[in-house]
Structure formats: structure tokens, C-alpha cells
Amino acid sequence: MMSEPVRLSKRMSELGICSRREADEWIERGWVKVDGKTVSQLGSKVLPHQKISIEKQASQEQARRVTILINKPVGYVSGQAEDGYKPAVSLISEATRWKGDPSKEKFKPSQLRSLVPAGRLDIDSVGLLVLTQDGRIAKRLIGENSATDKEYLVRVKYLKPGKLPENDLQLLRHGLKLDGKPLLPAKVNWQNDDQLRFVLREGKKRQIRRMCEAVGLKVIGLKRIRIGQIKLGDLPPGQWRYLRPEEKF
């Protein structure tokens, strides 16, 4: 059976070499080879068995890409500036770098270029936010097939008399729908009388707040403390550090 040819940039993204956008840049620069021959035509197609390799310059450029972990405070948006609110990237400067950052990486303003949030954190939520120049990391954290879980501590208030019934807690774990679509199973447990711990494998807009609303809980505070294997740890609010090469989500 003949396999269908696919766009070279799509295939490179599927193989985890880089993002599609990076692939297109590298193809234009003549940094991509298919079966040993340079391919510099955008939109070129390849068959699944063909061998794709990249030039040294592409690997070097990719190695220079930084990923930054920030403890986002309330009042900042994750991505583009909106409604007069500043984006989290505006917090990043030499002065706000955490003194405890063990990375040897030197801060350069050029690192702020094409630094994109890999996932959202609402304006009124705090905690771990990842900003990256590396398309592979963005894909791993927010791609359609991402299996990276995220952990949150959520302070809540029950708006009905008494305590949240056990079957409503079960609903938070599995059975709710948002925008007409069933949510993936989540881990939800009480940490203490007014705080829940959520572990999710998806990140729909205002998901935890909307899940809580559905069972009569009002969210008072929300903090993300972990993404995959990377923990917020001792990083102070409004400060940031580099992801180190040996750290993996």
C-alpha cells in the first residue's frame, strides 16, 4: 500500500524535530535535507519512510532557544496584552530574575522575542506559567495530544448549606461537560476544609472555575504548582528562572 506524501514541515513536527513554523524557516534557509539532498522549497512533500536530517546551524539555533518559568501574579494575562492588562512576559527582566536560579544562562533582551506562553493561566490565577521560544516544548505542553498533567491548589467556598456532597466531588473527577464536550477524567481531592487539589490533563478556558461553578463552588483563589515534572517550588511571585537542559516536563 502506498503511503500518502505529507508536507515536510508537518512531518518534521510529527517527528518532534521542531515546530512547523521553525521547519518552514529552516527549509527556506536550506538547513533541511531529505535522503541527503537539501530541500529549500516551502510546501515540499515527503513520504513517511524518507530520512529527514537538519544542518548543524539549525541544531545550534534550537539550542539557543530559552524556556522561562515564571510565578505569575494576579493582574497579568498569559499571552497578548488585553483590556489594558499587561502580559506576563512584561515581568521578565534581569532585575526580576530569581536570585536562586541555578542556570548558567545569561539574560539577553533578544530572548524576549518570540517567547510564547505554553498554556494559559487566567488573569486572576497565580502560579507556574511557561514561556518558551522552543516549538517542541509548546507542542508537548499544549498540542492536541499532550498528555502532560498540571496540578492546581484551589481555594473554594460552597454556596449551598452544608458541605459539598460526595457525588458532586465524583462529578468534578469525571462526568462534567464544558461547551457540550465531556471533560477528560481529573484527579480532585480535598487538601483541607476549603482547598481542593486538581490534577488535569487539559486546559480549557477557565476550566477549573467553570467545573467548580457547575457543582455550586465559588473559586476564591487558584494557584498552579506543577506542570508535568516541573514544580513551582520556591520561585517567588513575579520572579522567573530558566528551565535547565536536564529538566524535562
Q: For the domain bounded by 67-145+230-242, which CATH number is listed?
A: 3.30.70.580
Which of the listed ranges 53-67, 114-128, 151-165 does the model predict with the highest average pLDDT? 151-165
Question: Domain map of the chain by residue range?
Answer: 6-63, 67-145+230-242, 150-227
Dist CA 184 CA 201 (whole Å): 7
Dist CA 97 CA 66 (whole Å): 14
Q: With a cut of 70, say whether residue 243 has pLDDT above it.
A: yes
Q: What does the pLDDT read at residue 165?
A: 96
Q: What does the pLDDT read at residue 83?
A: 81
Q: What does the pLDDT read at residue 41?
A: 92
User: Is there a shared CATH topology between the 6-63 domain and the 150-227 domain?
Assistant: no
Q: Residues in the chain, how many?
A: 249
Range 93-112 average pLDDT: 93
The mean-pLDDT minimum among 71-75, 107-111, 180-184, 205-209 falls in: 107-111
CATH fold label, 150-227 = Pseudouridine synthase (3.30.2350)
Pairing of strands 177-178, 86-87: unpaired
Q: What does the pLDDT read at residue 33?
A: 95
Q: What is the DSSP string of the chain?
A: -PPPPEEHHHHHHHTTSS-HHHHHHHHHTT-EEETTEE---TT-EE-TTS-EEE-HHHHHHHHT--EEEEEEPTTEESSS-BTTBEEGGGG-SGGGB-TT----PPP-GGGGTT-EESS---TT-EEEEEEES-HHHHHHHHSTT----EEEEEEEEE-SSS---HHHHHHHHTT-EETTEEPPP-EEEEEETTEEEEEES---TTHHHHHHHHTTEEEEEEEEEEETTEE-TTPPTT-EEEPPTT---
pLDDT band at residue 2, thresholds of 50, 70 and 90? Answer: low
Range 149-176 average pLDDT: 96
Choosing from 101, 122, 149, 168, which is the catalytic residue?
A: 122
Q: Confirm whether 122 is a catalytic residue.
A: yes
pLDDT over 90 for what percent of the chain? 71
Range 111-117 average pLDDT: 86
**What is the second-level CATH architecture of the domain 6-63?**
Roll (3.10)
Range 60-84 average pLDDT: 88
* Residue 236 and residue 187 in contact, taking contact as beta carbons nearer than 8 Å: no
63 vs 124, which has greater pLDDT?
124
